[in-house]
Amino acid sequence: MPNDASIKIDGKEFPYPVMIGSEGEKAVDVRNLRKDTGYIFYDQGYGNTGSCESQVTFLDGDNGILRHRGYPIEQLAEHSNFIETAYLVIYGELPTAKQWKTFSDLLRANSAIETQMQRVFEGFPKDAPPMAMLSSIVGSLAAHYHQLATNNFEKDLQQFDLAAAMAISKIRTIGAMIYRHSRGLPFLHPKDLPFCDNLLHLMFSEPYQDYVAIPEVTKALNLILLMHTDHEQNCSTSTVRMVGSSGANLFTSLSAGINALSGPLHGGANTAVMNMLQSIHDEHDDGTRFIEAAKGGSKSNRLMGFGHAVYRNFDPRARVIGQACDVVLKKLGKSDPLLDIAHNLEQAALKDDYFISRKLYPNVDFYSGIIFRALGIPTNMFTVMFAIGRTPGWIANWKEVASNPKGRIYRPRQVYTGVVKRDYVTIAKRS
Ligand code: CMC
């Protein structure tokens, strides 16, 4: 294994140290490249750029491996639940019984949204996009709890446990309020219930009748949120880190992450998948038209729920969720024609040269919507559910940035390709 690398530019060779991650990930440390050579690396989309060191999640896209703090996602899916995995991702270890109680108590004590904050909803029309509401209201947590969210790393870290618990618990409550606001339903108060039961209560209880979740439903919700807990340096997590690197507080950084997640190529893909499956169903199609359109190379016609920026293999989360779909539907005594369509579409794409040659496989979003649908969650809420699930990962990454004494503000460079210097012309002289 080399212990350094060299880059030859303009006939001169410059040595750079090689870094090896704990799982063997190799990188060349080029922090001094521009200073040494006057050059920068051009890496559009950062596909070859390590923007940070992180200890939260290990992802091997070639082999379809995903581990949080060393634990394989498949083991967490089988033995853990969303809140325990959230603790693991944020604090680095599975909680002891005492830590579990403290964390659960903190989540419970911070689950409600104060009346003043509830009024923010009055400014939104019923049909406002759920993710736009979510990012605004999470952003307003920074205004509401400004003593806790100070834009000062040291002070924010002293209050981190409380801010983190607030974020996890309140984003769940806000998500449920968005659901009710969109339907003109009155808001409900959180109860003394486990996290996922409370989410179902906040969404589906009636003022006159409590929603009582059957264990299969809570289990499925736990699984699907857990599957979204963290995913290395994806677009929204990198956004949270970038915003956090300026010293911005946790709530402000999370609000930015939520906006990044809303795009159809990222968290919005689960909604797009469901719309695609529904359209195939409504038009009694076999999906060929979506597959053929996707092969045209246009970004707006991609096969939604397929492909990934780093996986060149099955997304392990898709495997777990795909298998869970069948089990959950069976346990709930439901059948869903969209699940059959999804299975057929997956098989057709996996046999198609276009998808084979580009190593495009189903990702986490391909099957997650089927489970959300079986739980009674409407399509326009899917990305909000993704955000509730991803919150612990964003928090863990924000903490790494905030607690790094040697951290720098994120500031990529660019290759300018615009107009070169010219002189100002008054309006009368412009043609
Ligand atoms: N349908 C058709 N073609 C595709 C797709 C797709 N879903 N995904 C990638 N390609 C093509 C792409 O156009 C490129 O073609 P060519 O080599 O001819 O230029 C080739 O495959 C390689 O693309 P890539 O470099 O692997 O893809 P990327 O890193 O630019 O984009 C992605 C990754 C996830 C944005 C993309 O696969 C995509 O748009 N998928 C559909 C949307 C989706 O399901 N997103 C959810 C991602 S997982 C959860 C999350 O991160 O939120």
Q: For the chain, what is the total number of helices (H) and then of strands (E)?
A: 19, 6
pTM of the model: 0.94
- Give the dihedral of Cα atoms 209, 215, 221, 224; nearest 10 deg: -170
Give the per-residue pLDDT at 2. 62
At 365, is the secondary structure helix, strand, or coil? Answer: helix
What's the rounded mean pLDDT across residues 53-58?
98
Taken as a whole, the chain contains a residue count of 431
Predicted pLDDT of residue 225 = 97
Residue-wise over 17-27: b if at least 16 C-beta within 10 A, else e?
eeeeeeeeeeb
Is 231 tagged catalytic? no
pLDDT digits (tens, 9 = 90+) for 133-160: 999 999 999 999 999 999 999 999 999 9
CA 205 to ligand 1 center in whole angstroms: 39
Those residues with Cβ within 8 angstroms of residue 272's Cβ, 6 or more apart along the chain or in another chain: 264, 304, 305, 365
In short, whether 387's Cβ falls inside 6 Å of ligand 1 is no
Is 133 touching ligand 1 by the criterion CB < 6 Å? no
Q: Per-residue pLDDT for 333 more than 90?
A: no
Residue with CA at minimum distance from ligand 1 atom 12: 297
Q: Is 305 in the pocket of ligand 1 (CB under 6 A)?
A: yes
Q: Which amino acid residue places its CA nearest to atom 52 of ligand 1? A: 266
Give distance in angstroms: CA of 110 to centre of ligand 1.
39
Cβ of 358 below 6 Å from ligand 1: yes
Cβ of 172 below 6 Å from ligand 1:
no
Of 400, 387, 108, residue with least CA distance to 230: 387
Residue 396 Cα to ligand 1 midpoint, Å, equals: 26
The model's pLDDT over 172-220, given as tens digits with 9 standing for 90+, comes to 999 999 999 999 999 999 999 999 999 999 999 998 999 998 898 999 9
Nearest CA to ligand 1 atom 30: 309
Distance of CA 273 from the midpoint of ligand 1 (Å): 14
- Work out the mean pLDDT of the chain and round it to a whole number: 94
Mean pLDDT of the 225-235 span: 97
- What's the rounded Cα separation, in Å, for the pair 412 and 52? 12
Mean pLDDT of 332-356: 91
Tell whether ligand 1 has an atom less than 6 A from the beta carbon of residue 298: no
Asked about 308 being catalytic, the answer comes back as: yes
Residue whose Cα lies nearest atom 26 of ligand 1: it is 309
**Span 250-274, pLDDT tens digits:** 999 999 999 999 999 999 999 999 9
Set out the domains of the chain in order of their start, with CATH numbers.
4-65 (2.20.28), 72-266+387-403 (1.10.580.10), 269-374 (1.10.230.10)
Residues 381-385 have a mean pLDDT of 96
Secondary structure of residue 8 in the 3-state scheme? strand
Tell whether the model's pLDDT for residue 3 goes beyond 80.
Answer: no
User: φ, ψ for residue 71 (rounded to 5)?
Assistant: -85, 125
Residue 168, ligand 1, Cβ within 6 A:
no
pLDDT greater at residue 167 or residue 268: 167
| Distance, CA of 6 to CA of 9 (rounded, Å) | 10
Pocket test for ligand 1, best of 306, 346, 385 (most atoms within 8 A of CB): 306
Question: Given 181, 228, 308, 315, which residue is catalytic?
Answer: 308
Which H helix or E strand runs over 68?
strand 65-68
* Predicted pLDDT of residue 187: 96
Q: What is the average per-residue pLDDT within 79-108?
A: 97
At residue 165 the predicted structure's pLDDT band, cuts being 50, 70 and 90, is very high
CB–CB of 196/168 below 8 Å?
A: no
Indicate which residue's Cα is closest to atom 35 of ligand 1.
265
Of residues 368, 363, 269, the one with CA closest to residue 321 = 368
User: 165: number of CA atoms within 13 Å, CB side?
Assistant: 17
What per-residue confidence (pLDDT) applies to 1?
A: 55
Instruction: Give, in degrees to the nearest 5, the angle at Cα 102 between 101 and 105.
Output: 80
Ligand 1 contact, 297 CB (< 6 A): yes
Average pLDDT in the 382-392 region?
A: 97
pLDDT band at 169 (very low <50, low <70, confident <90, very high): very high
- Give the closest residue to 270 by CA, choosing from 196, 119, 109, 380: 380
Tokens of 363: 């990702």
- The mean pLDDT value for 93-100 works out to 98
